[in-house]
């Protein structure tokens, strides 16, 4: 058994035994907080006693044995007494020692009840009178035993000893001049029974008092080495020493638990130390606490609930303790070594907190959190402090608590943590009655928060709350909180609510003598949203374009309502392509100048305005706005805004010719979505689908499919699924299936009224597939229709792209002439990607370049049956790793061959998949063969 850092204390006991051998008995009291190593210290002493020829007599005290009179004395003496022969016994029991025979009589076998002398009734005093001869006899017997051989009496946890044994030890301690006896007793500091008079009297007459303190850092280093069989890194040892507070019990449990859990004593494992809570250690600490008086445990439970939110005075109030009781609780918990005193007091280790929590019932937790919320509220603490406790309660809240939850939700929303705000409002809803105006208000506030991260839930809660709001204006204001673009997938019930409230607003306006500016603005906001929800209905997009034309050349943009309506009408004009691109570009730029670049406006501006600017041939005009908005979305942590902005930003980068950055930005947008079940807005999914096709990213395309419902997409998204499947089929060489999917997609888009080739150039892609299948007539017909619609829209890059497609499927000099015209238009448009593609097409036609020399072709090649391109070269390492994977080697086998980790192999393969445009290992052999 290794004893760490106790050399001076051991020397004291050895010196005491040396003195006792010469007939001057010694009493050594060892004390310290729980877990400091008192028992282990006592267990180390018998070895030292044996070396000196000292007989060791040991006893351990336990709470459940306090009612057994002379139980500790029997543990100390009985074994030696029984083992001795008759002559030795007779000598030990000579003269006054003969009274020890009374130990076996009925009277003194009765319990003393463990009560202090001051509180003993007359009956127990009579028992004590009978004990006196026995006590004297026991001391004489011990003296006689020590005459044969020096004695070392070890008594652990003496605070739990039965009262007769305590009296005997006290009697012996006051008569140590003669026996050759060393008594070493361990007492736990902070235990309430350690304050009994008999224990205090023992401590008072001690020859030596040893206080065991925390272990030093070098001792912890030795403990780590002994447990793990290797030296620990300095960071690991320091973490153990600091977290364990030098307490041997905590340290031993933590270090052993780490080893059993498979950790090594490395710097990388240091972070694990702070969160450890070994179950056996937690149970042991809970056992210490259960025997404490109620005020002590009540204070500890209050500390757990407040969790450093208040000082010791507030903890005491929560525990229902007066100042005196509070001070005593702090003192006792400190003596036990369970807390670090200060303001506020704190537990020395997470395991202490876990032990206290283990002692608490669900009812106690709820009651204390409810009371803590009230105390913090009355004390003027912030709503954020109060709401922590309200969330931990299950019962009905007071009215003030509902207001605190609402206030905290608003604060969380403005700080950029809408998910936390939603939690607060969900808790408030638990105490609201169905069908009431209060509940309706909470539902509307919840919807306004959820718009930031869960539009579907926002719409659901809005439809539940709006009908119960007291006035038409209240209902209209609530509906106006949802940005129009987030209504793309609104249910029919939500659409009907918008229509009903809009009709109510119109009716009230007709009945009013004068319509206020506020009511006019709300009416415009409702019109914008209602129109957007109806864009899936035949004729609604065209009607919206007529409404835009009716506003004249200078569209009103003075109020929020004006701007929102203009944004929705601009979106309709862009998708139909029946509005001049120049006018759309001018209106889009005005709107962008009026809208601040932030994560909040992104939900409205990004889907409706940025898309129009890109389609109108001016992606660069949106770049600065998107960068500022993305920086702010990252700063506040708005994942939904990051996805929406990042997707649009990727498309802008693509149009300006930066394919590598476009792929990086698209990846960021995908990562921001987070959970596999999360689903970004429909516009973001569409944009990411277009980026996947343009940059030849199979992984991104598969992600889009998963977010659109996979095998069974919703009706509103079936065309997008068809588009992705068409591209994937063409990419694999199945032009027939690709054309079928693409034509189905095109028919769906025509039904929706999405006729603008600047948005989705599906006719040009279908023309390429027909051309690759030898259907020249069908290809030219689709290309001509695409060109006609491009001319109607009028954006130079759209016209240039349509001409490029016509040129690629037109044979001879006529085709070359079309490509030259396209090149001239695209050079003036600033669309770097399309300009690179038409240049590549001219080089192919003239025979001046190979296909692999123009990676900007990317997704375009597959529509013309040219096969899948290589979008980026593999590094030397990626090529070696991919080759081994193609041959069937596992990641582990590859890692062993190259002397790297499996994680490194996985990263190289993932990069190779993306560069080669394959979904996994199965596609590697063919993709690598194309590189040869």
pLDDT, one tens digit per residue, over 680-701 is 667 888 899 999 998 888 889 8
* pLDDT, tens digit (0-9, with 9 covering 90-100), for 582-605: 999 999 999 999 999 887 788 778
Given pLDDT bands bounded at 50, 70 and 90, which one contains residue 852?
A: very low
Q: Which among 271, 245, 246 is positioned nearest to 258, based on CA atoms?
A: 271
Which of the pair, 122 or 465, is modelled with greater confidence?
Answer: 465
Q: What is the pLDDT of residue 714?
A: 45
Cα angle: 552, vertex 622, 416; to 5 degrees? 105
Alpha-carbon span 275 to 57, nearest angstrom: 41
Phi, psi for residue 460 in degrees, rounded to 5: -65, -45
C-beta separation of 464 from 444 below 8 A: no
Q: Environment class of residue 119 by beta-carbon count within 10 Å: exposed (0-12), middle (13-18) or buried (19+)?
A: exposed
Question: 67 vs 409, 517, 749, 843, CA distance in Å?
Answer: 58, 86, 89, 103
Residue whose entry in the numeric block shows the structure tokens 């015209």: 821
Given pLDDT bands bounded at 50, 70 and 90, which one contains residue 116?
A: very low
Which of the pair, 144 or 709, is modelled with greater confidence?
Answer: 144
Alpha-carbon span 682 to 667, nearest angstrom: 17
Q: Is the pLDDT of residue 387 over 70?
A: yes
Which of the pair, 635 or 464, is modelled with greater confidence?
Answer: 464
Most confident of 84-93, 143-152, 453-462, 885-894: 143-152
Phi, psi for residue 847 in degrees, rounded to 5: 75, 25
Residue whose entry in the numeric block shows the structure tokens 């997609």: 745
* pLDDT, tens digit (0-9, with 9 covering 90-100), for 410-462: 988 888 788 899 999 999 998 888 889 999 999 999 998 888 778 888 889 99
Question: 232 vs 221, 245, 248, 783, 797, CA distance in Å?
Answer: 7, 18, 17, 72, 65
Percent share of the chain, pLDDT over 70: 91
Question: What are residue 185's DSSP bridge partners?
Answer: 29, 155
Q: Is the pLDDT of residue 833 over 60?
A: yes
Percent share of the chain, pLDDT over 90: 45
Q: 96 preceded by cis ω (within 30°)? A: no
Q: What is the pLDDT of residue 566?
A: 96
Given pLDDT bands bounded at 50, 70 and 90, which one contains residue 851?
A: very low
Which of the pair, 563 or 772, is modelled with greater confidence?
Answer: 563
Residue whose entry in the numeric block shows the structure tokens 């609530």: 478
Most confident of 39-48, 847-856, 911-920: 39-48
Q: Which among 489, 475, 576, 573 is positioned nearest to 525, based on CA atoms?
A: 475
C-beta separation of 166 from 201 below 8 A: no
DSSP structural state of residue 606: I
Q: What is the pLDDT of residue 866?
A: 58
Which of the pair, 902 or 380, is modelled with greater confidence?
Answer: 380
Given pLDDT bands bounded at 50, 70 and 90, which one contains residue 928?
A: confident
Joined tokens for residue 556 = 């009103």
Chain centre to alpha carbon of residue 768: 48
Given pLDDT bands bounded at 50, 70 and 90, which one contains residue 334?
A: confident
Q: What is the pLDDT of residue 568?
A: 95
How many CB atoms are located within 10 Å of the residue 21 CB?
17
* Residues 6+ away with beta carbon under 8 Å from 751: 538
Q: What is the pLDDT of residue 525?
A: 94
Mean pLDDT, residues 663-673 taken together:
88
Q: What is the pLDDT of residue 120?
A: 47
**Full set of structural domains in the chain with CATH:** 7-211 (3.40.50.300), 217-276 (no CATH), 277-360 (1.10.10), 708-869 (1.25.40), 876-931 (1.10.10.10)
Q: Is the pLDDT of residue 37 over 70?
A: yes
Joined tokens for residue 894 = 């590859």
C-beta separation of 70 from 165 below 8 A: yes
Q: What is the pLDDT of residue 920?
A: 65
Q: How many residues comprise the chain?
A: 932
Joined tokens for residue 606 = 């990004």
Joined tokens for residue 905 = 């192999």
Q: Is the pLDDT of residue 846 over 70?
A: yes
Q: What is the pLDDT of residue 129?
A: 52
Sheet holding 181-188, edge to edge: 55-60, 151-156, 181-188, 26-32, 208-211
Q: What is the pLDDT of residue 535?
A: 86
Q: What is the pLDDT of residue 931?
A: 67
Q: What is the pLDDT of residue 46?
A: 95
* pLDDT, tens digit (0-9, with 9 covering 90-100), for 284-307: 788 778 878 899 999 999 999 998
* pLDDT, tens digit (0-9, with 9 covering 90-100), for 718-757: 788 899 999 999 888 888 999 999 999 999 999 889 999 9
The lowest-confidence range among 119-123, 214-218, 506-510, 862-866 is 119-123
* Residues 6+ away with beta carbon under 8 Å from 429: 439, 442, 443, 446
- DSSP-derived pairing of the beta strands 346-347 and 339-340: antiparallel
Alpha-carbon span 328 to 768, nearest angstrom: 87
Alpha-carbon span 451 to 469, nearest angstrom: 19
Q: What is the pLDDT of residue 531?
A: 93
3-state SS class at 873: coil
Q: Environment class of residue 251 by beta-carbon count within 10 Å: exposed (0-12), middle (13-18) or buried (19+)?
A: buried
Alpha-carbon span 356 to 339, nearest angstrom: 12
Mean pLDDT, residues 640-660 taken together:
89
Q: What is the pLDDT of residue 1?
A: 58
Count Cα atoms within 13 angstroms, Cβ side, for 155.
30
C-beta separation of 662 from 687 below 8 A: no
Cα angle: 547, vertex 550, 553; to 5 degrees? 120
**Averaged pLDDT score across all residues of the chain:** 85
End-to-end CA distance of the chain: 68
Q: Is the pLDDT of residue 676 over 50?
A: no
Q: Is the pLDDT of residue 607 over 80?
A: yes
Q: Is the pLDDT of residue 124 over 60?
A: no
* pLDDT, tens digit (0-9, with 9 covering 90-100), for 631-644: 988 887 778 888 88
Q: What is the pLDDT of residue 919?
A: 54
Q: Is the pLDDT of residue 118 over 50?
A: no
Q: What is the pLDDT of residue 106?
A: 42
């Amino acid at each position: 058994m290794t004893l760490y850092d106790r050399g001076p204390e051991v020397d004291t006991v050895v010196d005491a035994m040396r003195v006792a051998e010469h007939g001057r008995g010694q009493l050594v009291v060892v004390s310290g907080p729980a877990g400091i190593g008192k028992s282990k210290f006592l267990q180390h002493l018998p070895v030292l006693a044996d070396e000196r020829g000292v007989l060791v007599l040991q006893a351990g005290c336990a709470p459940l044995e306090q009612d057994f009179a002379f139980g500790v004395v029997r543990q100390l003496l009985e074994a030696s007494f029984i083992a001795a022969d008759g002559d030795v016994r007779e000598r030990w029991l000579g003269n006054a020692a003969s009274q020890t025979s009374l130990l076996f009589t009925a009277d003194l076998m009765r319990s003393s009840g463990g009560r202090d002398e001051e509180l003993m009734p007359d009956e127990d005093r009579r028992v004590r009178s009978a004990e006196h001869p026995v006590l004297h006899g026991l001391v004489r017997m011990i003296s006689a035993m020590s005459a044969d051989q020096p004695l070392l009496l070890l008594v652990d946890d003496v605070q739990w000893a039965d009262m007769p044994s305590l009296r005997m030890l006290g009697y012996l301690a006051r008569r140590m001049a003669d026996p050759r006896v060393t008594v070493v007793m361990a007492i736990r500091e902070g235990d309430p029974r350690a304050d009994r008079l008999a224990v205090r009297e023992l401590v008072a007459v001690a020859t030596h008092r040893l206080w065991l303190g925390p272990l030093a850092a070098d001792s912890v280093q030795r403990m780590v080495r002994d447990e793990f069989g290797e030296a620990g890194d300095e960071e690991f040892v320091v973490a153990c020493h600091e977290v364990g507070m030098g307490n041997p019990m905590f340290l031993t449990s933590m270090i052993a638990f780490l080893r059993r859990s498979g950790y090594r004593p490395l710097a990388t494992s240091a972070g694990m130390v702070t969160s450890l809570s070994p179950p056996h250690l937690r149970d042991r600490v809970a056992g210490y606490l259960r025997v404490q008086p109620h005020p002590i445990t009540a204070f500890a439970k209050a500390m757990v609930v407040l969790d450093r939110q208040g000082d010791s005075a507030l903890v005491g109030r929560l525990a229902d303790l007066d100042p005196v009781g509070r001070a005593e609780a702090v003192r006792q918990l400190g003596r036990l070594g369970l807390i670090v005193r200060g303001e506020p007091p704190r537990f020395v280790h997470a395991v202490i907190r876990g032990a206290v929590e283990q002692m608490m019932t669900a009812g106690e937790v709820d009651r204390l959190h409810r009371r803590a919320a009230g105390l913090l509220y009355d004390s003027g603490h912030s709503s954020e402090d109060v709401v922590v406790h309200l969330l931990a309660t299950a019962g009905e809240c007071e009215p003030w608590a509902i207001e605190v939850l609402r206030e905290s939700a608003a604060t969380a929303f403005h700080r950029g943590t809408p998910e936390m705000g939603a939690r607060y409002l969900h808790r408030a809803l638990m105490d609201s009655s169905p069908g009431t105006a209060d509940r309706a208000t909470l539902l509307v506030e919840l919807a306004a928060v959820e718009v930031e991260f869960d539009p579907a839930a926002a719409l659901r809660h809005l439809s539940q709350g709006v009908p119960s709001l007291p006035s038409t204006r209240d209902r209209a204001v609530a509906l106006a909180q949802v940005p129009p673009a987030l209504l793309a997938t609104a249910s029919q019930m939500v659409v009907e609510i918008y229509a009903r409230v809009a009709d109510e607003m119109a009716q009230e306006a007709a009945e009013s003598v004068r319509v206020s500016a506020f009511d006019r603005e709300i009416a415009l906001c409702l019109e914008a949203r209602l129109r957007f929800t109806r864009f899936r209905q035949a004729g609604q997009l065209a009607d919206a374009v007529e409404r835009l034309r009716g506003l004249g050349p200078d569209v009103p943009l003075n109020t929020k309502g004006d701007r929102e309506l203009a944004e929705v009408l601009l979106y309709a004009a862009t998708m139909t392509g029946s509005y001049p691109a120049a006018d759309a570009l001018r209106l889009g730029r005005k709107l962008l100048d009026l809208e601040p670049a932030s994560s909040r406006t992104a939900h409205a501006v990004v889907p409706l305005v940025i898309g129009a600017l890109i389609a109108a041939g001016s992606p660069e005009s949106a770049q600065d706005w998107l960068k500022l908005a993305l920086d702010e979305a990252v700063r506040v942590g708005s994942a939904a805004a990051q996805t929406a902005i990042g997707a649009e930003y990727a498309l802008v980068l693509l149009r300006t010719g930066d394919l590598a950055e476009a792929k990086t930005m698209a990846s960021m947008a995908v990562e921001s979505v987070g959970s596999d079940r999360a689903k970004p807005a429909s516009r973001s999914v569409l944009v990411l689908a277009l980026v996947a096709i343009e940059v030849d990213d199979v992984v991104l395309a598969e992600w889009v499919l998963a977010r659109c419902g996979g095998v069974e997409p919703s009706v509103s998204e079936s065309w997008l699924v068809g588009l992705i499947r068409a591209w994937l089929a063409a990419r694999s060489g199945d032009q027939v299936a690709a054309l079928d999917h693409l034509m189905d997609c095109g028919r769906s888009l025509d039904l929706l009224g999405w006729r603008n080739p600047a948005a989705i150039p599906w006719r040009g892609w279908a023309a390429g597939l027909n051309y690759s299948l030898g259907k020249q007539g069908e290809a030219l017909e689709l290309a001509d229709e695409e060109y006609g619609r491009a001319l109607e829209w009028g954006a130079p890059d759209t016209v240039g792209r349509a001409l490029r497609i016509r040129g690629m499927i037109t044979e001879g000099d006529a085709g070359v002439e079309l490509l030259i015209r396209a090149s001239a238009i695209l050079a003036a448009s600033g669309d770097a990607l399309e300009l690179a593609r038409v240049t590549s097409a001219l080089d192919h036609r003239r025979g001046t370049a190979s296909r692999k020399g123009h990676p900007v072709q990317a997704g375009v090649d597959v529509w013309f049956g040219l096969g899948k391109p290589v979008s980026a070269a593999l590094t030397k390492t990626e090529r070696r790793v991919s080759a081994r994977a193609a041959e069937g080697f596992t990641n582990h086998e590859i890692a062993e061959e190259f002397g790297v980790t499996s994680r490194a192999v996985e990263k190289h393969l993932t990069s190779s998949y993306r560069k080669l445009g394959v979904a996994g290992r199965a596609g590697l052999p063919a993709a690598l063969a194309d590189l040869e």
